[in-house]
Chains A and B, each alone.
Chain A
Amino acid sequence: MTDFVLILVTGLGLGALYFLAASGLSIIYGLMGVLNFAHGAFMMAGSYAGFLTMGALPASLSVAARLAMAVLVALVVGAVIGFVVEVVLIRPLYRHHIQQVLVTVGLSLASVAAAQGIWGADPRTVEKPEWMASTTMLLGARLPNDRFLFIVVALAVFLGLQALLHYTRLGLIIRAGVENRTMVEALGINVHRTFTIVFALGGSAAALAGLLYSQYAGTVSPAQGGSLLIYAFIVVVIGGMGSLVGTAVAAVAVGLVQQLANFYAASGVGDLSVVLLLALVLLLRPTSMKGAHA
């Protein structure tokens, strides 16, 4: 039972990270049809921005305070990078979906290589606040506190995005754009500006995911974003591309399935069962791929 609670909470925590990584990807895909391979690079940028900020701040500040600053910096860096990438790289290739994928592939390769050149390929240890490294007793299980933090952050981002989508004019345009972009353009709304905002938002979410994932792993490395990206892709596909609620459900399902299978079957089975889950969803509901309401 205690094992089960631990696996459950860890799975939920991991699912929370997957959701953070996938949410931006899903909205970008739903609205713009861009499969953003550079999302992994955004995550990497976030984790390194956080790592460098924490190193640059005076050591007299507590680790938690520095981590909070790091989160802020990562959010800004992610937004700026998302903004620049959309304006400089994606916009000229509007309506050329394959070329957009190719450009983001090139960008992710080049930026991971650049990070390797600057900071080295080896993982570097990140500082962790004492509270996050310790555990809480719950239902007889020792639960690492950082899992709860991930869940809370992901919930906050989920609710924030839902509020944005449902209670603001921008959200209205995004939802309408996911449904039928041509119609929104025909109504005289500047969809391009929305694209840029969505990319910047997605960049922020990705940077946050990258930073928290580096806290989860205890290290930062250039390749980290790429490994998280694969699961984010799987989550987006299972959740129905462009649907935020679907993405949230899929992220939790993937995190739980992975952890449970890894624990109760054998290490490594979890990763495989996630892929099996994807194949199953596709075979039973191929229409889920077409995207749904945001």
Chain B
Amino acid sequence: MRTAVSLKALPAIIVLAVLAYLPYVPIEVPGLLPGRVNGPGSLQLLATCLVIAGIALSYDVIFGRTGLLSFGHALFVAAGSYLLTISLSNWALPLPVAILVSLGVTTLLALVVGGIALRVGGIAFAMVTLAFAQAASIIVMRNAGGLTGGEEGKSLNRDAVPQLLVGVANAPYRYWLALGFVVVAFVVVTLLVRSRAGHAMAAVRENEARAAVLGFDTYRVKLLAIIVGAVLGGLGGIVHALVLGGSNPHVTTTEFTLALLIMVVLGGAGSMWGALLGGFLYHYADARLVELSGAGFLDALPDVVQQVLSEPLFILGLFFIIIVYFAPAGLTGLGGRLIRRGRAT
């Protein structure tokens, strides 16, 4: 039994080891990464990809595991991010206290918003969560009380965080921090999925009425999913702010939640690797497609086509539509299907 468990964990451990070793790899990968693998540019890009992957995993707890179509996840990520930068700069709290405050308030927010939104179900739930997130976005954008910095964003108070996380030379440490967040999210979600609560969430996703008849308090199960997702998302927001050196108003917007939805579906909803892969690839494509399209192989096309193709979101949006039609289980589902087909023949 014990060997079976460790065998199952083997791929995760290998991937983790490879990723953790990347800051020691001085090779150039032309086209794929800006400069050397362990250069600050590449590591910063990879770190952001990892944070987004972890946040996508936190959204998957709500969407993929429990079947709740929430359009308000950006609210929790933004809460983590902005509460951290504000409590460091404006309230002069030490970092550990600031992190605790951010997570505590995010949990409270999840309790209130989730509690209200869960009074309705289905599409209506989606709309209510959207409205709450939109309200938060408006508050942030209007720079309420001069706290959030409006559309400029809010930069991190660099004196309040350990020097290891600041500056170009310390990019590897920020990268490891991001990797650590992904590991924490991975472990928490794995434990949750295997627990009794996780099974209840799966039951609610598959057939809520049946789960209710079986004696589950579905309201509490759904609220728990939202809270766990929100706390992990808030943690992701905190790490996001630390890695990027500030809070970006983009994480408050509806587009960000929609992007999370796309990541999870792209990778495969309700699967650990799916959400992680989807989040990683989505952010990577968003950041790198612009440069790829400038690489020269599009020069033969008319200008207008070139301009459209150089919009990463155009390609991602089309790709997403294709995935929804032809690979509803996402990229990981597609991969699994191909592997099984290969074994069968």
Chain A interface residues (CB < 8 Å from chain B): 29, 33, 35, 37, 89, 92-93, 97-99, 101-103, 105-114, 116-118, 226, 230, 233-234, 236-237, 241, 267-268, 271-272, 275-276, 278-279, 282-283, 286, 289
Contact = CB atoms under 8 A, between A and B. Distances in A.
Contacts of B119: 282-283, 286
Contacts of B191: none
Nearest to A291: B124
Given A102-B265, A117-B307, A289-B124, A272 B314 contact: no
A118 B302 CA distance: 11
Considering the complex of A and B, which 5 residue pairs feature the smallest CB-CB distances, nearest first?
Answer: A110-B317, A113-B313, A113-B314, A117-B308, A109-B317
Contact of A105 (B131, B262, B318, B328): B262
Interface string B113-143: 0001001101110111011101100110010
A117 B131 contact: no
Contacts of B153: none
Contacts of B9: none
A118 B310 CA distance: 10
Contacts of B317: 106-111, 113
A242 to B, nearest CB: 11
A106 B319 CA distance: 8
Contacts of B307: 117-118
Interface residues of B, number: 42
A111 B304 CA distance: 14
Interface string B274-318: 000000000000000000000000000000100111111110111
B332 interface: no
Contacts, number: 126
Contacts of B311: 113-114, 116-117
A102 B142 contact: no
Nearest to A271: B138
B324 interface: yes
B10 interface: no
A111 B135 CA distance: 25
B258 interface: yes
A275 B142 contact: no
B69 interface: yes
Q: Tell me the dominant secondary structure on chain B's binding face.
A: helix
Interface string B96-122: 000000000000000000001001101
Nearest to B316: A109
A114 B308 contact: yes
Q: Tell me the dominant secondary structure on chain A's binding face.
A: helix
Contacts of B42: none
A165 B265 CA distance: 37
B298 to A, nearest CB: 12
Contacts of B132: 275, 279
Nearest to B322: A106
Contact of A35 (B123, B135, B324, B325): B123
B116 A98 contact: no
B173 interface: no
Give the interface centre of B69, B130, B131 by most chain A CB atoms within 10 Å: B131
Given A107-B321, A110-B317, A230 B142 contact: no
B254 interface: yes
B325 A110 contact: no
B254 A230 contact: yes
A233 B320 contact: no
Contacts of B124: 237, 241, 282, 289
B69 A101 contact: yes
Contacts of A116: 311
Contacts of B128: 237, 278-279, 282
Contacts of A33: 123
Given A110-B317, A110-B318, A117 B309 contact: yes
B120 A109 contact: no
A223 B309 CA distance: 18
